[in-house]
Amino acid sequence: MTTTNDNTNQTYLIRGADIVGAGRHDMVLQDGVITQLGQVDAPSGAVVVDADGLVALPGLVDLHTHLREPGREDAETVATGSAAAAAGGFTALLAMANTNPVTDTAEAAEHVYDLGQRAGLVDVHPVGAVTKGLAGEELAELGLMHRSRAAVRVFSDDGKCVHDARLMRRALEYVRAFDGVISQHSQDPRLADGQACCHEGELSGRLGLPGWPVVAEEVIVARDVMLARHTGSRVHVAHVSTAGSVEVIRWAKAQGIKVTAEVTPHHLMLTTDLLADYDPTFKVNPPLRPDKHVRALRTALVDGTIDAVATDHAPHARHDKEHAFAEAAFGMLGLEQALQVVNTVSRVDDGLDWAAVADRTSAAPARIAGLGDQGRPLQVGEPGNITLFDPDARAVVDAAASHSLSRNNPWHGHTLRGQVVATFLRSRATVLDGKVIS
């Protein structure tokens, strides 16, 4: 449910939160920033938020969101996607370019940016396409998009791989001038074509579904890190899904190559076994993998080989998803449950502490995207971008309760650990008591 409440100039006193990096303190939010930290008296007129038992994190930043607007407003709009993001504790997101029309010009990028400003719940930063129309044949207007009001710095043909090595090299060389980054959807189209719809293995053979081999991802990751080394540019590996990719990225980082990587919540928790009933909810690209890959991804997130958690939030209308598995659309929702999944699997099983959670969900993605006012430590004078999270709550996910227009939620019916209680964007509440405030 969205609640209307103009609280732009409201002062908030967050009472007794466990603040990552600072311990248990009160915190005053006013005029866009954190003005006091410690044991403080409530300023006149302040709204007091009881945060006893809650963890205060820097507002989450998502490197990988599909908002579907323009073109598929029946599946998601910038406004509804922003509401879902705020409900999940996000204060900024990167909107992928595979809309209709594609975000491959300065005008298209500014249009998405303006829609985000109008929604006002999170900072929406458009991702620019690497190639015109995502066709993989000619570079898009990378420089013009960067110089536009949207100040695009991240470029991706996500959904498609920039498979032409020469074109990828040119893109890397081009964005180096303004410290841009190419976010690659790593899928060799000759090894995993458009028909490949699930992990290639024993199960795909038994189900009779075209397989997506791990090597189709790993060869592109290996190629791109070598191109990044050759050009001195930054490459970002989107939605890493295999243990082999992790090993390549680990090696590349050890060599000093400018590579970063993200993992999705669903690849941290869900496995190929869920496909046994042909449920298209679990059809995603790259596909869910067997447990050994999931374990490798969790380990890589803990040790920092994988820099960030990114949702790959991919809403779809029912008529695009409710088909036989092989014909259904790829993708699943992810914004609203991302922090709950991290809290459920990585913290419990692998010992990711809160400082590391803050880094992987906020600081690192902000750094990769070049967002200077996001992912900041919670200190006096810093932007009031904050997520309050109850780590011990238990919540059963109800897909019907989503702020997204779509319902392809893989967590429906799951009991996840933790709950976002409040979100603040530049000291303005966008979520209070779990309810979105527009």
pLDDT digits (tens, 9 = 90+) for 53-105: 999 999 999 999 999 999 999 999 999 999 999 999 999 999 999 999 999 99
On whether 158 is known to bind a ligand per the annotation, the reply is yes
Residues 50 and 162 in one domain: no
Find out whether 236 is annotated in a ligand binding site: no
64 assigned to a ligand binding site = yes
Same domain, 125 and 186: yes
Q: Per-residue pLDDT averaged across 279-302, rounded?
A: 97
**377, 397, 420: which is the final residue of a domain?**
377
pLDDT in tens, 266-290: 999 999 999 999 999 999 999 999 9
- Same structural domain for residues 372 and 406? no
**Domain assignment of residue 6, yes or no:** no
What is residue 183's predicted lDDT score, i.e. its pLDDT? Answer: 98
Q: Report whether 343 belongs to an annotated binding site.
A: no
Same domain, yes or no, for 330 and 387? Answer: no
* Residue 393: burial class (beta carbons within 10 Å; 0-12, 13-18, 19+): middle
Domain with 419, as residue range(s), is 12-55+383-436
Does residue 185 have a known ligand-binding role? yes
Which pLDDT score is estimated for 6? 63
- Verify that 319 and 419 share a domain, yes or no: no
Q: Which of 355, 377, 399 is the last residue of a domain?
A: 377
Q: What is the pLDDT of residue 8?
A: 76
pLDDT value for 21: 83
Tell me the pLDDT band of 343, cut-offs 50, 70 and 90: very high
Lowest mean pLDDT among 5-14, 43-52, 223-232, 355-364: 5-14
Residue 374's identity, in one-letter code, is Q
* Structural domain includes residue 164: yes
Q: What is the per-residue pLDDT across 127-145, written as a single tens digit (0 to 9) for each?
A: 999 999 999 999 999 999 9
* Res. 348: pLDDT tops 80: no
> Is 15 marked as binding a ligand?
no
Query: Does some domain include residue 145?
Result: yes
pLDDT digits (tens, 9 = 90+) for 382-416: 999 999 999 999 989 999 999 999 999 999 999 99
Q: Annotation-wise, does 239 bind a ligand?
A: yes
- Least confident interval from 118-127, 226-235, 237-246, 339-348: 339-348
Which CATH number is 387's domain given? 2.30.40.10
312 is catalytic: yes
Q: What is the pLDDT of residue 345?
A: 87
Residue 4 in any domain: the answer is no
Mean pLDDT for 342-371 is: 90
Q: Is 169 found in the same domain as 122?
A: yes
Q: 317 with 296, same domain?
A: yes
Number of domains in the chain: 2
Q: Are residues 396 and 349 in the same domain?
A: no
pLDDT-derived band at 346, boundaries 50, 70, 90: confident
Same domain, 359 and 395: no
164 lies in the same domain as 20: no
pLDDT at 1: 44
Residue that the structure tokens 């008296």 belong to: 41
316 is in an annotated binding site: yes
CATH number at residue 246: 3.20.20.140
Residue 5 has pLDDT above 60, yes or no: no
198 pLDDT more than 70? yes
- Look at residue 4 and tell me whether its pLDDT is greater than 60: no
Mean pLDDT, the chain, as a whole number?
Answer: 96
Is 136 in the same domain as 32? Answer: no
pLDDT-based confidence at residue 3 (cuts at 50, 70, 90): low
Residue 255: inside a domain: yes
Report if residue 123 sits inside a domain. yes
Check 312, 320, 359, 390 and give the catalytic one: 312
Of 377, 404, 426, the one marking the end of a domain is 377
The answer to whether the annotation marks 62 as part of a ligand binding site is: no
The CA distance from 20 to 357, in Å, is 9
Determine if residue 68 is labeled as part of a ligand binding site. Answer: yes
Q: Are residues 327 and 418 in the same domain?
A: no
